[in-house]
Amino acid sequence: MNNHLFRFKEKEKFVFIDCETENLCLNYRHNIPWQIAMIKVVGDKIIEEKDMYVEWDRPLKVSPEAAIITQFNEAKYNKLKIPYQQVYRVMKDWLEDADYIVGHNILGFDAYLISEFYKKMGESSMHLADKLIDTLCVARMYRQENDIVRDQSLIELQYQMLNFRQRGAKNSLSALGKEFEIDHDYKSLHNALVDLQLNIKVWDKLKWKVNI
Interval 134-152: pLDDT, tens: 999 999 999 886 555 567 8
Interval 91-129: pLDDT, tens: 999 999 999 999 999 999 999 999 999 999 999 999 999
Dist. CA 201–CA 183, nearest whole Å: 9
Phi, psi for residue 94 in degrees, rounded to 5: -65, -45
Name the pLDDT band for 186 (thresholds 50, 70, 90): confident
Domain boundaries, the chain: 6-206
Q: Which fold has domain 6-206?
A: Nucleotidyltransferase; domain 5 (3.30.420)
Q: Please determine, for residue 2, whether its predicted confidence score (pLDDT) is greater than 70.
A: no
Please report the pLDDT score of residue 69 as a whole number: 86
Please report the pLDDT score of residue 1 as a whole number: 44
Task: Find out whether 189 and 20 touch, Cβ atoms under 8 Å.
Answer: no
Bridge partners (DSSP) of residue 66 are none
End-to-end CA distance of the chain: 14
Pairing of strands 13-21, 33-42: antiparallel
Radius of gyration of the chain (CA): 17
Please report the pLDDT score of residue 82 as a whole number: 98
